[in-house]
């Protein structure tokens, strides 16, 4: 017997798109963005746009009695001229009633062929592909379709062989997190393997991951976004991009942190807010940036350690300064907390940093469990 697949509206229907703050109409369909549309006028670096449309933490949520689902998508990935294959497009993961029920490799769509860091790029247009999940349990169930955390993904169509209804509101708290690539988690083994998603599942909360690989630089538009986004819990992971890009010196770093926190507090004066310092990164612990990647694929710090005495930032300096700022503000802001990032990944675990900077998939999961054990316990900042 042939089962008819019915198209479900992606916009204006029963499906909720969670984890994205904007939905941009494209020629193929709609593109989730993790920052509001108005922020596009406030950055020029194309890398900001690139990571904003990588849907880390973005998922389609609905209820259905369907036994089969299809999601048609158009991915966009890169390819080095020296590599015969495009970069992996990542996984689409299906959760049914909170449990992982299926994983599928997302199809290759558009490919941006890159001859080198400063060379011209050539777009090879692709076509949408369909990912299918069949054999779902009978009866009405809660479904989440998680998009690949590292690959821009345009949503073309959702199809089901049953009824699709809006999700029920379960009263879970909303946690808004912002950080660098180490929170974006491109290297995770799937979208539910990023450490914020692992931690959110253990803590029983809904996460919005505003982390931006290479771009956690205390940008004012990010602070205003967090200020204006409904949140029950907020965390910020600050430092690695700032040191790696030599974006601040000690004189300017402290005021920038204060300003970022002040803006968030304009919208969330009493919300628990956890400021997290960097995890271990041997190259930058005592040596300031900037950094470069060597022939072995590992990062190297190019700064002069002697310059730290004159205000250059190392990770050690950043951790000390963040702890000082939180201690100074806590008298008037008792809901502000600080966590040393080395509690998530410490100096004895640097073998889990293949390039000297980014954790392995297993390490990301471990970080999520450690964060949940710290933040969501009865005496933790997110209790």
What is the model's pLDDT at position 114? Answer: 82
| Phi, psi dihedrals of residue 241, rounded to the nearest 5° | -70, -35
Counting residues of the chain whose pLDDT is more than 70, the rounded percentage is: 98
- Kindly report, residue by residue over 362-382, the tens digit of the pLDDT: 999 999 999 999 999 999 999
Counting residues of the chain whose pLDDT is more than 90, the rounded percentage is: 93
What is the model's pLDDT at position 118? Answer: 60
Residue 95 half-sphere exposure toward CB, CA atoms < 13 A: 19
Is 378 exposed, middle or buried (CB count within 10 Å of its CB: 0-12, 13-18, 19+)?
exposed
What is the model's pLDDT at position 217? Answer: 98
- Kindly report, residue by residue over 90-116, the tens digit of the pLDDT: 999 999 999 999 999 999 999 999 876
Question: N- to C-terminal Cα distance for the chain?
Answer: 52
What is the model's pLDDT at position 197? Answer: 98
Report residue 117 CA to chain centroid gap. 24
Torsional class of 16: left (φ above 0), alpha (ψ -120 to 50), beta (otherwise): beta
In the predicted model, is pLDDT for residue 1 greater than 60? Answer: no
Residue 2 tokens read as 């042939």
In the predicted model, is pLDDT for residue 347 greater than 90? Answer: yes
Neighbouring residues of 200: CB distance < 8 A, sequence distance ≥ 6: 175, 206, 207
Transcribe 144-171 into DSSP letters: EEEPPTTS-EEEEEEEESS-EEPPPP--
What is the model's pLDDT at position 142? Answer: 98
Q: Is residue 48 very low, low, confident or very high in pLDDT (cuts 50, 70, 90)?
A: very high
| Residue with the two structure tokens 């989440």 | 144
Residues 38/52, Cβ–Cβ less than 8 Å: no
Mean pLDDT within 242-254: 98
- Kindly report, residue by residue over 184-194, the tens digit of the pLDDT: 999 999 999 99
Angle subtended at Cα 212 by Cα 209 and Cα 218, rounded to the nearest 5 degrees: 100
The CA distance from 354 to 359, in Å, is 7
Residue 221 tokens read as 């538009």
The CA distance from 221 to 219, in Å, is 6
In the predicted model, is pLDDT for residue 23 greater than 90? Answer: yes
Q: pTM for the complete prediction?
A: 0.96
What is the model's pLDDT at position 3? Answer: 72
Residue 351 tokens read as 């073998």
3-state DSSP assignment of residue 287: coil
What is the β-pairing status of strands 291-293 and 59-64? unpaired
Transcribe 223-269 into DSSP letters: HHHHHHS--SEEEEE-SHHHHHTT---HHHHHHHHHHHHHHHHHH-S
Neighbouring residues of 11: CB distance < 8 A, sequence distance ≥ 6: 23, 30
The CA distance from 305 to 156, in Å, is 51
In the predicted model, is pLDDT for residue 41 greater than 90? Answer: yes
- Kindly report, residue by residue over 118-173, the tens digit of the pLDDT: 666 788 999 999 999 999 999 999 999 999 999 999 999 999 999 999 999 899 99
The CA distance from 191 to 199, in Å, is 13
In the predicted model, is pLDDT for residue 232 greater than 80? Answer: yes
- Kindly report, residue by residue over 289-323, the tens digit of the pLDDT: 999 999 999 999 999 999 999 999 999 999 999 99
What is the model's pLDDT at position 149? Answer: 98
What is the model's pLDDT at position 350? Answer: 95
What is the model's pLDDT at position 117? Answer: 59
Report residue 137 CA to chain centroid gap. 30
Residue 187 tokens read as 């290297």
């Amino acid at each position: 017997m042939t089962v008819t697949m019915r198209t479900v509206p992606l916009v204006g229907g029963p499906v909720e798109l969670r984890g994205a703050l904007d939905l941009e109409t494209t020629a193929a369909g709609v593109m989730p963005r993790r920052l509001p549309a108005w922020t596009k006028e406030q950055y020029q670096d194309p890398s900001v746009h690139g990571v904003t449309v990588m849907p880390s933490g973005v998922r389609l949520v609905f209820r259905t009695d369907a036994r089969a689902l299809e999601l048609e998508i158009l991915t966009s990935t890169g390819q080095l001229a020296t590599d015969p294959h495009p970069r992996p497009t990542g996984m689409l993961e299906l959760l049914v009633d909170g449990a992982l029920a299926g994983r599928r490799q997302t199809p290759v769509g558009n490919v941006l062929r890159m001859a080198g860091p400063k060379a011209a790029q050539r777009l090879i247009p692709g076509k949408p592909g369909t990912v299918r999940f069949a054999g779902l349990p009978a009866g009405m169930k809660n479904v989440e379709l998680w998009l690949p955390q590292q690959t821009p993904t345009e949503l073309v169509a959702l199809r089901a062989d049953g009824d699709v209804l809006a999700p029920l509101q379960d009263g879970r708290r909303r946690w808004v997190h912002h950080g660098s690539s180490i929170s974006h988690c491109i290297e995770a083994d799937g979208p539910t393997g990023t450490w914020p998603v692992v931690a959110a599942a253990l803590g029983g909360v809904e996460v919005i991951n505003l982390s931006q690989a290479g771009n956690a630089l205390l940008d004012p538009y990010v602070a205003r976004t967090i200020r204006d986004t409904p949140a029950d819990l907020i965390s910020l992971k600050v430092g690695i991009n700032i040191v790696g890009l030599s974006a601040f010196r000690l004189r300017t770093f402290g005021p920038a942190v204060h300003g970022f926190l002040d803006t968030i507090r304009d919208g969330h004066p009493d919300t628990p807010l956890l400021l997290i310092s960097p995890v271990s990164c041997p190259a930058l612990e005592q040596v300031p940036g900037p950094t470069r990647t060597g022939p072995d694929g590992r990062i190297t710090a190019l700064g002069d350690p002697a310059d730290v005495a004159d205000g250059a930032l190392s990770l050690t300096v950043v951790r000390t300064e963040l702890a000082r700022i939180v201690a100074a503000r806590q008298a008037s802001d008792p809901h502000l907390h600080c966590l040393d990032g080395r509690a998530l990944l410490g100096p004895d675990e640097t073998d889990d940093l293949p390039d000297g900077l980014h954790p392995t998939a297993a390490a990301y999961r471990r970080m999520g469990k450690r964060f949940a054990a710290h933040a969501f316990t009865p005496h933790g900042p997110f209790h």
